[in-house]
Amino acid sequence: MNSSFILGKLTFDALPFYSVIAASGAAVIVLGGLSVVALITWLEAWGTLWRNWLTTTDHKKIGIMYVVLALVMLLRGFVDALMMRAQQAIAMNDPGYLTPDHFQQIFSSHGTIMVFFMGMPFLFGLMNYVVPLQLGARDVAFPLLNAISFWLTAAGAALVMVSLVIGVFSTGGWTGYPPYTELSYSPTVGVDYWIMALLISGVGTTLSGINFVVTIYKLRAPGMKLMHMPLFCWTALCANLLVIFAVPGLTVAGGLLALDRYLGMHFFTNDGGGNVMNYANIFWIFGHPEVYILILPAFGIFSSVIPTFSQKRLFGYTVLVYATMCIAVLSFTVWLHHFFTMGADANVNAFFGVMTMIIAVPTGVKVYDWILTMFRGRLLFDTPMLWSLAFIVTFVIGGMTGVILAIPPLDYVFHNTLFLVAHFHNMLIPGMLFGLFAGYAYWFPKATGFRLDEKWGRRAFFFWVAGFYLAFMPLYVLGFLGMSRRMAYYDQPGWQIYLIVAAFGAFLVLCGIISQIVQLTVSIRDRACTTDFAGDPWNAPTLEWATSSPPPEYNFAVQPEVHSLDAFRAAKEAGCPYPWPERYEPIEMPRNSMTGIALGAVSFVLGFAVVWHIWWLAALGLLGVVGTVIARSFATDTTRIISAEDVAATETRWKTAVLAARGASA
Amino acid sequence: MSDATSRHPGINLSHARREDERHAEVTVFGFWVYLMSDAIIFALLFATYAAMVGRTAGGPSGPELFDIANAFVETMVLLTSSFTFGLAAVSLKEGRVGASQLWLGVTFILGLAFLGLELREFAGLAAQNATPQTSGFLSSFFVLLSTHGLHVLAGCIWIVVMMVQIVIFGLSRQVRSRLMRLSLFWHFLDLIWIVIFTIVYLPAVAS
């Protein structure tokens, strides 16, 4: 490919006019982006946005920005899924409406987005919002680093979105296996987009992992022992330990692949002594724990939701903690089950098969704990609880198909078929996404001060669950029938009916997503009726509910003292849930900073320039990254004091609301 | 009293104020966690090197290429730089600004000397047509060593920034805390180099 000094490999050919579909996708992205910009300008909201959101170091606002990013990416990733289902439903002896190359880009971006730019940001959003509150802390350990992590994740997501408009995306799947993703087979910039997006967001994720581990170990409220922590904090701790130890694997795998592509090295090439198995090993040493990074916090959400809506204590707290730790450790012992068929000897496969099955034990323990939590409880079927119930049933089915895949001889039959696709969607959709939705509905009133609309929530729930079963159960059958995954078209008449059912399932999920959009709109419109400033709408046991909704910037005017599990419930039972003092102290909080957004911007420029081989711009980007960090280290005036009077005023307003709410309920 | 409450090793940061101690404890612990994460990157690169060491694709192998004398000098330079950083830390502890600047400067020069030696070694290899593009073995060798080298470069830049900050801010709480972390980083790099020397160079001599 021609390359110029000024623009590298970037030419007019990079614009997506090679197909109508690609061009319309690009148009949607561009018009969507422009209309958001226009709307903000029209509302004259740039100043507010900049001061209150883009430069914030408040963990709660960063959490909300993470969730917004995740929801936008969920839409994008879901459109990809819908396009694939539509293509396969009609592509029987027919080219369908997508070219094979375009189909490959779509499944690659679907996987990449759903794992890295929907699941991860959504989880980090909820963790950001909830964990410091549950710990009774004022913020995370490193608030500015937190903002930087978010903006690096956003920069990665932006690179994926830009690939839709300028150039192409990877065709190598979300795992990017070489030698296919080597330059000789994938000469376009698609794989480079994939690598740069993952490397940049991966740095952000690692920093987040460090931040949360330190927060949980060091910033717990006075008296709160580790075994006093809510289970969500435990799962967040284990997930973030996994982040710290696993994400470097992604960095190394992606980095070495980039060196092969950019500098002609031979890590994973077919010639020159390269060894593809190195990639499989390094990637899955990251990739398998990644599954648990996604699922463990969702387990924590279910462990918050189920007891609250069963009006009981969580059954077997200690067991759940140890089961979580077991899963975290075992997740590092099973990576090889992702390549049972690649020629390891039978003993190796048997070992990893057994290790894989062993994970079902602590997971099964958890399922029993959740069921026993509900046993003889007074169940309230609010939407968070509905998601949790659907999760338990569906997840168990997925777990059983997982045990089938963990048997190496059976894996030889099923690997790379739609059975596998059905299995991992059967784990991650109920195991992660339903958890995220449960957490979204559960903590929404905490973050905004008003509840989500229950009616539309139930509709969304119904469509999602029905859609899930219709979309993925046929894929198990197709796996049995031998249909391999990632097929753009096929010639087996027997397959088509299942693919049509699956497409119908995807359509139902679309109805679910539309219901969720309607739910959000309706909830905002009717917020006056569901306002709950006092802050404890579910009569919940943990500390995040012991402050106003939304909480003040400093979370707690007086740090709560904790002497037991479920601290807030214990305080409520003792009759003094809120430690209102006679007088308040001034509080020191970090100032806003543009370092986060600036680092995100220069990292994006760096990534984009490297993708297109625009080396002068890459050098500028790198200089920008280093320069921003060094410049920030010279800043001195980084905190501000909230005066005792301001704290007192805020707290009094809340106290009035609490007393009014209690008066109303009494 | 302050010894009993000191919960992090190395440079004694101020214990006069409770918040100082809390700040140092959280920040330094966070940096240790970061180092653990970085150690995983090196562990994976070591594992990759071990898997690739025989994959020379007809090109030269380690025993044919490696100059143990040069690697030994590099080791000495880096070990000495850890020692001089230790002297900088002691001066810092005693509040002697000039001495800590001096020893930081010496450490910086030794860091640059190490990088110079490493680049000279790379150039020598390239002259024998042993480049990262030659074979999987050499790819993993160059990447392992350059990753360490880039860390040393980052450490050198960090030393310069800290020397400037000492001039501007004196030995303030922030500066001491950062120097504490820089010292952890520097000794960590020393540690990684010892493993490189053991895994990369010693087997080449032994065979």
Quick one: pLDDT at residue A263?
97
Q: Which residues of A touch B41 (CB under 8 A)?
A: 248, 251-252
Q: Please report the ipTM that was assigned to this predicted complex.
A: 0.94
Q: A408 is written with which tokens? A: 């190496």
Quick one: pLDDT at residue A25?
87
Q: Are residues B104 and B175 in contact, defined by beta-carbon separation less than 8 angstroms?
A: no
Quick one: pLDDT at residue A565?
93
Nearest C-alpha in B relative to A215: B26
Nearest C-alpha in B relative to A140: B26
Quick one: pLDDT at residue A319?
96
Q: Which residues of B touch A285 (CB under 8 A)?
A: 44
Quick one: pLDDT at residue A11?
86
Q: What is the DSSP letter of A642?
A: E
Q: Shortest Cα distance from B147 to chain A (angstroms)?
A: 11
Q: Are residues B162 and B12 in contact, defined by beta-carbon separation less than 8 angstroms?
A: no
Q: Are residues B144 and B45 in contact, defined by beta-carbon separation less than 8 angstroms?
A: yes
Quick one: pLDDT at residue B179?
93
Nearest C-alpha in A relative to B159: A630
- For range B101-128, the mean pLDDT: 97
3-state helix, strand, coil in chain B (%, to 5): 80, 0, 20
Q: Which amino acid is at B206?
A: A
Cβ <8 Å between B135 and A213: no
Closest partner residue to B136 (CB to CB) among A211, A264, A272 is A272
Q: Which residues of B touch A206 (CB under 8 A)?
A: 37
Nearest C-alpha in B relative to A631: B161
Q: Which of A221, A238, A211 is nearest to A366 (CA)?
A: A238
CB atoms within 10 A of CB A129: 25
**DSSP helix/strand/coil, A379:** coil
Cβ <8 Å between A273 and B52: yes
Closest partner residue to B48 (CB to CB) among A245, A278, A636 is A278
Q: Which helix (H) or strand (E) holds A198?
A: helix A190-218
pLDDT higher than threshold 60 for residue B6: no
Nearest C-alpha in A relative to B173: A636
Nearest C-alpha in B relative to A211: B30
Percent of chain B past pLDDT 70, that is, above it, reads 90
Quick one: pLDDT at residue A16?
82
Q: B67 is written with which tokens? A: 């100059």
Chain A interface mutation, best of B40, B134, B148, B179, highest count of A Cβ atoms under 10 Å? B40
Q: CB contact, 8 Å: B139 with chain A?
A: yes
**DSSP helix/strand/coil, A639:** strand
Q: Mean pLDDT of residues grouped by 10 in chain A (666 residues)?
A: 78 83 88 93 93 96 97 96 97 94 96 97 97 96 97 98 94 95 95 97 97 96 95 97 97 97 96 94 96 96 97 95 96 95 92 95 96 95 97 96 94 94 96 97 96 96 98 97 94 96 98 97 94 92 94 93 92 88 92 96 97 96 97 92 94 92 71
Quick one: pLDDT at residue B2?
42
Quick one: pLDDT at residue B12?
58
Q: DSSP for B48-86? A: HHHHHTT--TTS--HHHH--HHHHHHHHHHHHHHHHHHH
Quick one: pLDDT at residue A68?
97
pLDDT higher than threshold 50 for residue B72: yes
Q: Which residues of A touch B140 (CB under 8 A)?
A: 267
Chain B interface mutation, best of A207, A278, A625, highest count of B Cβ atoms under 10 Å? A278
How far apart are alpha carbons A616 and A503 in whole angstroms?
Answer: 47
Q: Which of residues 78-107 of B touch A (CB under 8 A)?
A: none
pLDDT band at B1 (very low <50, low <70, confident <90, very high): very low
Q: CB contact, 8 Å: A482 with chain B?
A: no
pLDDT band at B4 (very low <50, low <70, confident <90, very high): very low
Quick one: pLDDT at residue B15?
56
How far apart are alpha carbons A305 and A438 in whole angstroms?
Answer: 8
Cβ <8 Å between A248 and B48: no
Q: A73 is written with which tokens? A: 């990416």
Cβ <8 Å between A285 and B136: no
Cβ <8 Å between B57 and A273: yes
Q: Which of residues 614-653 of A touch B (CB under 8 A)?
A: 626, 630, 633-634, 636
Per-residue pLDDT reduced to its tens digit, B36-59 = 999 999 999 999 999 999 999 999
Long-range contacts of A38-46 (CB under 8 A, 24+ apart): none
Residue A207 phi, psi (nearest 5): -60, -40
Nearest C-alpha in B relative to A265: B133
Closest partner residue to B55 (CB to CB) among A245, A252, A275 is A275
Judge if the upstream peptide bond of residue A550 is cis by omega within 30 degrees of 0.
yes
Q: A649 is written with which tokens? A: 């005023």
Cβ <8 Å between A141 and B161: no
pLDDT band at B23 (very low <50, low <70, confident <90, very high): confident
Percent of chain B past pLDDT 90, that is, above it, reads 77
pLDDT higher than threshold 60 for residue B10: no
Q: Which of B79, B55, B53, B46 is nearest to B204 (CA)?
A: B53
pLDDT higher than threshold 80 for residue B3: no
How far apart are alpha carbons A501 and A482 in whole angstroms?
Answer: 17
- Check the CA dihedral A542-A548-A550-A551 and report its sign: negative
